[in-house]
Chain A
Amino acid sequence: MTMWYYILTPLLLILLIVVQSTVSGMFFHGFVTLEISLIVVIYAGFHLDLLKGVFLSFVAGFIVDCVGGFIPGASSFVYVLIFLASFFISEFLDTGKRYVIMSFTIVCVLLKEALLLSFYSMTLKTNVFAGNYVAVFAQSLIAGCLAPAVFYVMHRLGEVVYETQP
């Protein structure tokens, strides 16, 4: 089962991130991105063990960079940090509450954008979000609203996977 996890996760993440990218382009014309992959990382921080979660967040970040990023590794770094933050903070939070999921997701999206901004500012010496702060806030709110649904889907998916295993 664990082996299948490490084989299938990258493929499913590619599918997820491609869908996320395409749907974002279709509905928002690139103005905002649906941060479903980040919500999955937060879900992993709340529910998976450290090894699987680090793997998932690293791979998810890397694929995000490959599909739409400029500097490969930047999103991986940020996603792993967010996973670790989710993982350790989940000890102190009631992760079953919807408002907790939503507010934590909003904070994580803002944190991710802030980290990426810092990352790009340091490496490229440019402010890549210049004038797009409204979009960042909109993105965080959308992600916050989507998070409970994504959590529910992930939860159901987990149930199906564990029920079908021999």
Chain B
Amino acid sequence: MFLFRKYKTAILIAAVLMASLSFVFCGLKYGADRIFLKKVVMEIAAPVESALDYSIKSIRDAWLRYIFLVGVQEENKKLKKKIGELEATMNAYREGYLEAQRLRKILAFENESNHTFVCARVIGKELGALSRTLLINRGSSDGLKSGMPVLAPPGLIGRLTDVSWHYSKVLLLIDENSRMDAVVQRNRTQGIISGAGPEGMMLKYVPQTQDVQKGDVVVSSGIGGVFPAGLMVGMVREVERENTGLFLRINVLPFTDLSKLEEVMVLTSAAQEIH
């Protein structure tokens, strides 16, 4: 007892160290799962570890989600930019496609007819109240001359009035100053096509006795030497029979939407053929 009191600390330390070593030997000899205290500690530690792990996992997931959202935002910006670029590219392709369609139509028209054409791009439009003209990028250096007929498939749209070296002005058929001799294709009824501005064209000087109906196609007659015969001019939209007048009031619409013209064809061989 005296010895214990005197060496209490040393005995205690030795006992603890021995206890540790006994755990080691017990664990090695019989397996760690045989130690009761270890089971107790594990039973206490496991729920704590589980709760902590769950909390940390939740925080980490939230953080990763936040990072992911930041990434998504960045990606969204990039994708929007990419979409803009792709839309521009697609628009260019679409424009190219539409241009190809138009040019194919022009080419087909050129192949079908026996005339010689010069293709031109519309670079300016004057569709105001006083005049309805187009400016095209071809001039006398391309063989154009004043008075040459201008077409946009499938029909006639006007004639050249002013021609410079590289540019020309086209007076459209719907301009009030425009006149040409035309016939109704179905029954060869002759009249004068005159521009009527926003209403299109009027086929004038057709007697009331003539049979002209809505939907009749009007073509150039070839009389006058400016336009060759047989070129499509427009379609009869309305026929009015006035009680007092001698002539019918015939409204003709051009085949082409003149406000949307982008390419036109100038008939360069028309004069030779007419003569």
A interface list, Cβ under 8 A from B = 11, 14-15, 17-19, 21-23, 26, 50-51, 54, 58, 61-63, 65-67, 70-74, 76-77, 80-81, 84, 119, 123
Contacts and interface: CB of A to CB of B under 8 A. Distances in A.
Contacts of A119: 24
Contacts of A19: 52
A87 B24 CA distance: 24
Interface string B248-272: 0000000000000000000000000
B28 interface: yes
A74 B20 CA distance: 7
B17 to A, nearest CB: 6
B44 A62 contact: no
A77 B17 contact: yes
B23 interface: yes
B45 A77 contact: no
A123 B214 CA distance: 111
Contact of A66 (B12, B22, B24, B41): B41
Given A15-B48, A71-B32, A66 B38 contact: yes
Given A26-B60, A73-B22, A80-B20, A62 B41 contact: yes
Interface of B: 9, 12-13, 16-17, 19-28, 32, 35, 37-38, 41-42, 44-45, 48-49, 52-53, 56, 60
B27 A73 contact: yes
Nearest to A124: B28
Nearest to A75: B20
A152 to B, nearest CB: 23
Contacts of A58: 16, 19-20
B61 to A, nearest CB: 12
A77 B20 contact: yes
B48 A72 contact: no
Contacts of B17: 77, 80-81
A76 B35 CA distance: 14
A74 B35 CA distance: 14
A71 B48 contact: no
5 contacts: A17-B45, A18-B45, A18-B52, A19-B52, A54-B12
A157 to B, nearest CB: 19
Q: Which 8 A-B pairs have the closest CB atoms?
A: A73-B23, A77-B20, A73-B24, A66-B41, A76-B20, A72-B27, A73-B20, A18-B49
Contact of A80 (B9, B13, B25): B13
